[in-house]
Amino acid sequence: MKNNEVWHALRGVHQGRIWQGVPILREEGGPASVDFTAQRNWLIERFLLRKDIIGFYHTHPTFPAYPSSVDIPTMQAWVFTFGCPLLCLIEGTNGLKGWVFEHDECRGVPLSTVELIESTYIGVDRVVKTAKARRVVSGTVGEVDGFPSPGVGGGSPGLEPR
């Protein structure tokens, strides 16, 4: 794991207790935080048009994978903004863990199982993240999955493997 926190938005679907998704967008921060406010408007617009943002992944490179005092209000604010439950995956010193924030006052409901399976999220009563982030580009340059990218100069921010 890198020494700085890394963040990804997660694009996908969920039905009941099954969550499926792939990382889109990426930001890298410092050792104890990552700022993705530059992506805020793009995420909101994407969600309003596609309804396919299911949550967020980030790392805690120097401490355990549990929602921090910053993570909880951040997830509550996103749940309030989107008006639906969201997934929070955290990879820390104790491995990969996941929570569902069901409403804007929820402090996170832990997932029973989080597994790593290459290139796909799949599971019943568990969340799985991809082993390899892949660049999902279609349409014209400057679009991610056919949706305009917030990247500098109109280009796609790209996706990199962790």
Q: pLDDT tens, 67-103?
A: 999 999 999 999 999 999 999 999 999 998 889 999 9
Q: Using one digit for the tens of pLDDT, what is the confidence trace for 14-58?
A: 888 778 778 888 999 998 899 888 899 999 999 999 999 999 999
Report yes or no on whether pTM surpasses 0.85. Answer: no
Domain positions in the chain are: 6-154
Question: What is the C-alpha separation between 65 and 71, in angstroms, rounded?
Answer: 11
List, for residues 98-108, the tens digit of each pLDDT value.
Answer: 899 999 999 99
Q: Strand locations in the chain, DSSP E?
A: 6-15, 18-28, 53-59, 86-92, 95-101, 109-110, 114-116, 126-129, 143-144, 147-148
pLDDT at 114: 75
Q: Does domain 6-154 fall into CATH 3.40.140? A: yes
According to the model, what pLDDT value does residue 146 have?
52
Residue 108 CB burial class (10 angstroms; 0-12, 13-18, ≥19)? buried
Enter the tokens of residue 84. 């639906």
